[in-house]
Every structure is written in C-alpha cells, then in structure tokens.
Amino acid sequence: MDFPARFDVIVVGGGHAGTEAALASARMGAKTLLVTHNIETLGQMSCNPAIGGIGKSHLVKEIDALGGAMGRATDLGGIQFRVLNSRKGPAVRATRAQADRILYKAAVREILENQSNLWLFQQAVDDLIMNGDAVKGVVTQMGLRFEAEQVVLTAGTFLGGCIHIGMQNYGGGRAGDPASISLAKRLRELPLRVERLKTGTPPRIDARSVDFSVMQEQPGDFPTPNMSFIGKPEDHPRQISCFITHTNERTHDIIHGGLDRSPMYTGVIEGVGPRYCPSIEDKIQRFADKNSHQVFIEPEGLTTHELYPNGISTSLPFDIQLDLVRSIRGMENAHIVRPGYAIEYDFFDPRDLKPSLETKVIDGLYFAGQINGTTGYEEAGAQGLLAGLNAALRSRGEEPWCPRRDEAYIGVMVDDLITNGTSEPYRMFTSRAEYRLILREDNADLRLTEKGRQLGMVDDERWAVFCEKREGIALEVERLKTSYVHPKTSEAEQINHKLENPVSREYSLMELLKRPELNYQDIAGLKGQPVDNRQVAEQVEIQSKYQGYIDRQTEEIEKLRRNEETRLPEAMDYDDISGLSNEIRQKLKDVRPATLGQAARIQGVTPAAISLLLIHLKKRS
Ligand code: FAD
C-alpha cells in the first residue's frame, strides 16, 4: 500500500472518536490518515473497561448501524453483558458490557488494520498547517508534514492535560501517556473559545487481595446479548461475573480526613468534573445524608488480576486512597496496583461547531470526542463517526449530513452541544431525547442503516444482514395480521388461561400480540412457524405493543410546538413534578420562567423536561 503524498482526510488521535472517524472516512472511500501518539494505545479505554449502559448503548447501536467498530469490538471483547431496565419499556432498555480491555483494543486494532483506504502513523501532531482561515494539514513532532483539506482533531483528555494525585500534579494525557502541549498552545491561538474540564478514575486493585465471598455476585444475562446488529452469540469470549460492595461511615470519615489535601477541595483543580460520574470525595459532600455508596467491583479482563472499583474515583493523596479502599468490605487487605487520579484538560466550546462538527471559523477543521466537552467512549465514538463521515463528504464536495433529533441520539447529542454548549462533561441519557420511544436501541439499524448504506459506510455483509431482518419483520407482521385464532379451538385453549378476557371471537395473531398478557412466543406458534431470528421477533413484538404509545408521543411533540406560549404559574412548585432531574429542577427554580417557551430556552432544560411540565400543567387544569 503506497503512502500517499496528500490525503483527503487526516484524523489526529486514535482514541474512541479518532478510530470511528478514521474508519468512517475510509469506508466512504476517502484516503485517510490516522496519526496518533502510540499505535499500541489505539482504542484504549482510559477509564472503566465498559461499554454501553443507559443512553450510551443507544449511541453504540447507532454507531454500529452506520457501520462503525464499537459494537463489534464490544462483542469480541465483552466478558459480562447485561440488559439494564429489562423490566421497563423498550425506550429505556440498554445493553451494557464489561470488556476485557486487551481484547477490546485488539479488536479495534484489527478492524483498523484491515480497513482499506486507511493509513496508520505513530507520531504526536504538534501543529496545524493553515492557509488563511482554512486548514491544510498537520505537522508532527519530528517535523513531518502531512497535507489534507480536512483534519479531524480527537485529542481527548490530552490537550494541556494535567494529572492530580493529592497535592502533587504533573503533565500527562492520561496515566502513562504524555500530554499534548504544543498542539494545545497552537489551538489556543485560534479564534475558538476554550475552557478546562476535569475527570477522574479510581485506584485499581489486585483481585488476589480481595475477599469476594462477602460481596454480592452479579453474573451477566443469559442468553448473552450482542451489542452489534451483526453480532452472533459465539463472538463472545468466556463470560465472568462482577461483584458489588459498599462504602461505609468509616470510609467517609477517612475521606473527610483527607479533604485538606484534596486538589479539588483546596482549589488546585479549577476544571468542572462530571456530575454523573462524581469522585467519591464529591459524592460524600453532595450526598452528605447517605452513609453508604455502592461500589461495583469489575474485572479488567480475563488474563489480568486487575479490578476496577466503579464508584470510588478519587484524586485524594495515595495514603488516603489506600485507607479508604481498605475500609470497604471485602477489600480489607487490598493491594492497589495503580493509584486513582484526576485529570484536567482543555476543551473547546462546541457552540463554535456546525452540525457536521466542522469548526465555524476554520474551514475543514473538525472536532470530535472529549475535546468538545463530552465524557465517555460512546459519546466520543458517535461524534467521531459523524465528523469522519462529514470530512469525507466535504472532500468530495458534497453536502454535510447530521441526523435530526427525531432520527438518532447522535442528532440529540450534537444539537444539545452546538446549541447550548456545556459547562460540565456532557454524557448521554435517554432523558435528553424527547423522541425516545422512537429512538430505541433495538431499532437503531432500522433508523439508520439505509442512510449509512447511501453514504457508503455500510458494507455488503452488514447490508445483507439488515435487509434480511427488515424483510423478515415485514413478512412476519403480514403473517400475524392474516393468521386467525377462533374461539373454542385448541389454539384458543392454549392462551385463554393467560388472558383476563378469553378469546371470544375471531382474532388475528397481531391483535392477540397487542394484549399485555401475551408475548411473541405465546402466540407465534399458534398458527404456522415462529421466526427463529431473535431480532425479528423482538421488533415485531415491540412494534405491535408500543405503536399506540409511539403515535401518541408523536402527537404530543406536535402539540408541544404549539404550546410554546403556554404560561407557567409564578408559584409553580417544581419539587412537585416527578421525573425532573435535580439539575433541571434547580435551573427552573432559579429562573422561574413565565412560559413554556422561555423554560425551553434555559440552558440545560431538555425537551423531555418540557414534556413533563406540560403533563403537570394538564393535570393541574
Ligand atoms: P481519548 O480516548 O482520550 O483519545 C485521544 C487520543 O488522541 C489518544 O490516543 C491520544 O494518544 C491521541 N492524541 C492526543 N493528542 C495527540 C496529538 N497531538 N498527536 C497525536 N495523537 C494525539 N469517561 C466516562 O464516561 N466516565 C468516566 O468516569 C471517565 N473517567 C475518566 C477518567 C480519566 C482519568 C480519563 C483519562 C478519562 C475518563 N473518561 C471517562 C473519559 C473517556 O476516557 C473519554 O471520554 C474517551 O476516552 C474520549 O475519547 P476520545 O477519543 O475523545 O479521547
């Protein structure tokens, strides 16, 4: 493979955003160069080795539906899979996988190395080549110049990165990796708004020093779900359990005792941390009435003894870290393998970006991932894919593409970021989407794969699997609509005992499936053969059971638009409205908006929250 003199697209950074960006661009046929500090850290998980979870799995499935790597790598590297909220409605159901960080990284690297049109190169990028207001390429640490009219920057937590443990701090992009200082300096010269954020990670523990017998075991689900729409059960490696333990009053006393040497509480760290992934010192301050917090003990892989204690991220001094860990049940003799730390880094105000993630002021320069103020692999991967595909579109002179809020969580995230910006690390939640009955994780392929195919990102294998599924759904819906069960027949007898109102007239199988007491397995074999494709069966069931709700939601959204001018009573008691997050409740109390329209324009008040206000108003009237 010749090394081209010029590229169509250069991607800087081989984290979660960078790998998806490079793959998307290359899949679309653009000559793409991925330049990153270290080839060994391609796809590295800086923090928790887990992918998915509420809101986040929706993004992973959307990346997957558009041909991305994250879902496949999760299937190949996942060692414990669970479907969260499985008893709730499908809109909030979310797949979460604990990953073996080595297997995950290996899977990402294999996908990258086998992607045509993609070149990898190990070097730090120190500078951008500019011509007026347009980017023309990058310059590496060694002074090598690579040219391209499109450059996607995905530098993660590395720009001006500073690591804190207690009162000590030093430059770094994450533990063990150098910070990106020259590039950060160069970017600060551009007319873009830049701020600092902070995130943190817990100390890692040697499993051989932990007593699991006093902890609660949490096995994965069986049958093991897949993250990718083209995944198969046999893709997964050996599955193992996670465990749960708790902090206690002694843990909290130890933490209190160390706060005078905490970089966060002595003002050394200025960047704002993630509200939804707070450090343990933050948690005991913010939730002072709680004398215990859950700690999930998660294995880092099948071939390592390292454990990730999820819930005790900290930048306290090492002696306090050791004491606090050893105060937790089952960890009395714990050996810390790596200390926890916090990291501060530069991020750029995403309000300076277009929906394509191209910067408004520098033509051809795109930003994706943590650099835009988000947190999480999934948020980064989704932005990377979008920036990469738009960079490729630009390289062939085509219009950019960004999904709308009613098409994808990717659209919700980008709209949130570029409209409201963010003052704290942004993470995805299902509550951020007003169309969440439509934007489910199970139908991400039905929403996006066809578009991905048009854009050139979906290969023949994925397209064939998708077409078979789509056709399978259509055939099965037709079969269920045209197969009937009659009263007083053996078929009716098979289900009557489950039904509040037994079969009293002729019903189609589809009508029966709408009944809450029956599921697909109950009715599909009453006439003819059920389908053996799990995804088809799931889709037919969800579509039949929730169609009414989905239609109602669509109507509700239409009405919401008309209700822009609806007045909110001055004395409105926001504590009385269930479902609002504390953050939003506080913002509403601070501003006390006069109308729903005004409420919607308050930064951070989501369209989903506006729906809740509307419902509350209706109940009052
Ligand atoms: P990264 O994964 O950081 O990748 C950036 C890549 O760019 C790296 O490969 C780097 O080597 C490369 N790079 C940077 N600068 C250059 C350059 N100049 N030249 C060449 N290559 C360069 N997320 C959560 O959701 N929850 C958490 O609790 C959480 N805690 C975290 C704790 C820590 C300590 C850290 C470091 C991260 C944490 N994260 C957490 C964030 C998560 O790791 C990121 O959201 C995610 O990795 C972002 O992906 P990215 O691709 O934007 O950046």
Q: Which atom of ligand 1 is nearest to the CA of 374?
A: 45
Ligand 1 atom nearest to CA at 177: 11
- Measuring from atom 10 of ligand 1, which residue has the nearest CA? 13
Give the contacts of 77 (CB within 8 A, at least 6 positions apart).
99, 100, 101, 102, 103, 104, 105, 106, 107, 237
CA of 357 to the centre of ligand 1 (A): 18
Distance 58 CA to ligand 1 centre (A): 20
pLDDT confidence of residue 197: 95
Give residue 146's pLDDT: 97
The list of the chain residues with pLDDT below 70 reads: 1, 557, 560-565, 601
Angle at 415 between CA 411 and CA 418, to 5 degrees: 140
Mutate to test the pocket of ligand 1, among 16, 159, 429 (most ligand atoms within 8 A of CB): 16
Can you tell me the distance from the alpha carbon of 388 to that of 384, in angstroms, rounded to the nearest whole number?
A: 6
Strands 9-12 and 145-147, bridge-based pairing: unpaired
Per-residue confidence (pLDDT) for residue 185, from 0 to 100: 97
Q: Could you give the 3-state DSSP secondary structure of residue 615?
A: helix
Q: Whose CA is nearest to atom 28 of ligand 1?
A: 277
State the binding site for NAD(+).
273-287
Look at ligand 1, atom 40, and give the residue with the nearest C-alpha. Answer: 376
Please give the pLDDT value at position 570. Answer: 79
16 C-alpha to ligand 1 centroid (Å): 8
In this structure, is the dihedral angle defined by the CA atoms of residues 121, 123, 125 and 129, taken in order, positive or negative?
Answer: negative
Looking at the chain, the number of H-run helices and the number of E-run strands are 19, 23
- 405 alpha carbon – ligand 1 mean position (Å): 26
- Ligand 1 site, CB within 6 A: 12-18, 35-37, 41, 46-48, 124-125, 154-158, 173-174, 177, 180, 183, 199-201, 277, 313, 343, 369-370, 375-377, 380
Could you tell me the distance, in angstroms and rounded to a whole number, from the CA of residue 177 to the centre of ligand 1? 11
Candidate of 153, 347, 370 to mutate for ligand 1, largest count of ligand atoms within 8 Å of Cβ: 370
What is the predicted pLDDT for the residue at 563?
65
Q: Which residue lies with its CA nearest to atom 14 of ligand 1?
A: 155
Q: In angstroms, what is the span from residue 85 Cα to ligand 1's centroid?
A: 28
Question: How far, in Å, is the centroid of ligand 1 from the Cα of 174?
Answer: 7
- Counting other chains too, the contacts that 525-530 makes at CB distance below 8 Å and 24 or more residues apart are 526/483, 526/485, 526/491, 526/494, 526/495, 527/483, 527/484, 527/485, 527/491, 528/479, 528/483
Listed in sequence order, the residues at least 6 apart from 467 whose beta carbon sits closer than 8 Å to its beta carbon are none
Contact call for residues 359 and 225 (beta carbons, < 8 A): no
Q: What is the 3-state secondary structure (H, E, C) of 254-274?
A: HHHHHHHHCCCCCCCCCCECC
Cα 249 to the center of its chain, rounded Å = 33
Pocket test for ligand 1, best of 37, 153, 170, 417 (most atoms within 8 A of CB): 37
Pairing label, strands 150-153, 9-12? parallel
Q: What is the C-alpha separation between 473 and 488, in angstroms, rounded?
A: 30
Q: Which residues make up each annotated binding site for FAD?
A: 13-18, 125, 180, 370
Alpha helices in 422-514 (DSSP H): 444-455, 460-482, 490-496, 509-513
Residues listed for the chain: 621
The residues with which 310 forms a beta bridge, in sequence order, are 296
User: What SS3 state is found at 604?
Assistant: coil
The pLDDT assigned to 310 comes to: 97
Measure 516 CA to ligand 1 centroid, in angstroms: 44
pLDDT, position 423: 87
Nearest partner of 81 among 236, 277, 296, judged by Cα: 236
Atom of ligand 1 nearest to the CA of 35: 20
| Atom 23 of ligand 1, residue of closest alpha carbon | 376
Predicted pLDDT at 458:
98
Nearest atom in ligand 1 to the alpha carbon of residue 140 is 19
Which of the listed residues 41, 158, 159, 344 should we mutate to test ligand 1's pocket, taking the one with most ligand atoms within 8 A of CB? Answer: 158
How confident is the model at residue 270, as a pLDDT? 80
So what's the pLDDT on residue 597?
74
Residue minimizing CA distance to atom 12 of ligand 1: 13
CA distance linking residue 291 with residue 289, whole number of Å: 6
The residue to mutate among 139, 140, 199, having the most atoms of ligand 1 within 8 angstroms of its beta carbon, is 199
Residue nearest to atom 42 of ligand 1 (CA): 376
Residue 562 has a pLDDT of 67
Nearest to 179 by CA among 196, 201, 163, 200: 163
Task: Extract the annotated binding site.
Answer: 13-18, 125, 180, 273-287, 370
Check: CB of residue 205 under 8 Å from CB of residue 307: yes
Q: Decide: 436 and 91 in contact? Cβ < 8 Å.
A: yes
pLDDT tens-place string over residues 216-230: 999 999 999 999 999
Q: What is the ipTM of this complex?
A: 0.98
